[in-house]
Amino acid sequence: MRKNILVLKKSKCQQRICEILSVIFLFLVIACKKETDVKVLTFAHNLPTSHPVHKGVEAFKEHLESLSEGKMSIDIYANGNLGTEREVLELLQIGSVSMTKVSASAISNFVPEYLVLGIPYLFRDKEHFFNVLEGKIGEELLEKGTTSWLRGLCFYDAGSRSFYTKKKPVKEPKDLEGMKIRVMGDKISVSLVQSLGAAPTPMAFGELYTALQQGVVDGAENNAPSFVTSMHFEVCKYYCLDEHNYLPDVVVIGTKSLEKLTLQEKKWVFEAAKLSAQKQKIFWQEAEIQSVEILKKSGVEFFTPNKDLFRVKTEVLKTEFFKDEKRLKMIEEIEQLK
Ligand code: GCU
């Protein structure tokens, strides 16, 4: 009898344990389901987290999470940890990474239409620049990449690019003669430096600090926030504000990743990107002012040259690259836009 009671007690106890276990199991299933329900896109870029472009990417993530009410998110890999701009674009093409932010220079090696943006002194001012990029021409450029599996989502401000040098200042084009200047790998950047009499040396951004330090190159060219956050100003003490071009950054999604999204998810991604571009403009303005202050405090000497001297020398690029009628038409369209 006692034995029977014990058996009964044991089976009740087992039943209770089973009940508790099934509740725990149910919670785990729900928790896991919640976890996998969030669609996470990977985003890789080559700039440091202190850069205003990275802040734009963070805003993109926040907008996407809020528009989708937590159903979508972004994992950001900065500092070139997943590769150079070129390598990451290739990862996008095969679908291993979902999104990136690269210079228009880098994407022009895959989608040549972007080359037009690197033409020296193409944009009259910031207003003209944004009217082009946020209008029909910009939209067409973003779409163009689709045939190369690289769909542009929006443009980020990357200011204007100017020369910085290590040993001697550049005050006019002739000072560049014989200097080795690091450039991004696209045709326009190479020809631009060539037309000014210097020797262009293509190299990834992440390799540049050491190259400057070791004297592999005599200088480079970039906007002030990149000059500061890359710490190149520790090596180069001369900054010549010739502002030879306004080359934007482009936020891109690989079409392999895009195709996996539902219609609604695509809408959220496009909208969040566009909203982040508006915020990034503000981050950029603030960073430009702060960067100039940092550079001056660090003993970097600024020069404001006669830009016309640079303009005349680089004029040749328009005729060289845009012999092609379609491209020439694009330049004319940009120039005519208010
Ligand atoms: C800018 C641009 C980067 C680019 C870099 C470069 O900082 O935002 O995308 O890699 O210039 O000079 O390579």
For residue 186 and ligand 1, the question of a CB distance below 6 A is answered with no
Asked if residues 202 and 221 have their Cβ atoms less than 8 Å apart, the reply is no
For residue 222 and ligand 1, the question of a CB distance below 6 A is answered with yes
Asked if residues 303 and 171 have their Cβ atoms less than 8 Å apart, the reply is yes
Residue from 45, 46, 251, 291 whose mutation best tests the ligand 1 pocket (most atoms within 8 A of CB): 46
Ligand 1 center–CA 262 separation, angstroms? 32
* CA proximity to 117, closest of 310, 251, 246, 281: 246
Output the six-digit token pair for 139: 């939209």
Does 31 have pLDDT greater than 60?
A: no
Alpha-carbon gap, residue 126 to 124, rounded angstroms: 7
DSSP one-letter string for 1-40 = -HHHHHHHHHHHHHHHHHHHHHHHHHHHHHHHHHHHHSEE
Q: Could you tell me what percent of the chain has a pLDDT over 70?
A: 89
Q: Give the CA-trace dihedral at 177, 178, 181, 183, to 10 degrees.
A: 80
For residue 110 and ligand 1, the question of a CB distance below 6 A is answered with no
For residue 204 and ligand 1, the question of a CB distance below 6 A is answered with no
In a 3-state reduction of DSSP, which class is residue 186? coil
What type of residue sits at position 210? T
Ligand 1 center–CA 209 separation, angstroms? 13
Ligand 1 center–CA 31 separation, angstroms? 41
Instruction: From the CA of 103, give the closest atom in ligand 1.
Output: 9
Widest pairwise Cα distance in the chain: 109
Condensed to tens digits (0 to 9), the pLDDT of residues 195-232 reads: 999 999 999 999 999 999 999 999 999 999 999 999 99
CA 196-198-199 angle, to 5 degrees, is 135
Q: Does domain 39-158+248-305 have CATH number 3.40.190.170?
A: yes
* CA proximity to 270, closest of 143, 147, 149: 143
Alpha-carbon gap, residue 116 to 262, rounded angstroms: 33
Q: Return the bridge partners of 100, or none.
A: 44, 252
* pLDDT for 318: 86
Instruction: From the CA of 205, give the closest atom in ligand 1.
Output: 13
Instruction: From the CA of 156, give the closest atom in ligand 1.
Output: 8
Does 88 have pLDDT greater than 80?
A: yes
CA 273-276-277 angle, to 5 degrees, is 90
Instruction: From the CA of 184, give the closest atom in ligand 1.
Output: 13
Condensed to tens digits (0 to 9), the pLDDT of residues 239-257 reads: 999 999 999 999 999 999 9
| Terminal C-alpha separation, the chain | 99
Ligand 1 center–CA 98 separation, angstroms? 20
For residue 46 and ligand 1, the question of a CB distance below 6 A is answered with yes
Alpha-carbon gap, residue 46 to 79, rounded angstroms: 5
* pLDDT for 12: 55
Where exactly are the structural domains of the chain?
A: 39-158+248-305
Condensed to tens digits (0 to 9), the pLDDT of residues 152-171 reads: 999 999 999 999 999 999 99
For residue 158 and ligand 1, the question of a CB distance below 6 A is answered with yes
Instruction: From the CA of 85, give the closest atom in ligand 1.
Output: 10
Asked if residues 315 and 115 have their Cβ atoms less than 8 Å apart, the reply is no
Asked if residues 83 and 91 have their Cβ atoms less than 8 Å apart, the reply is yes
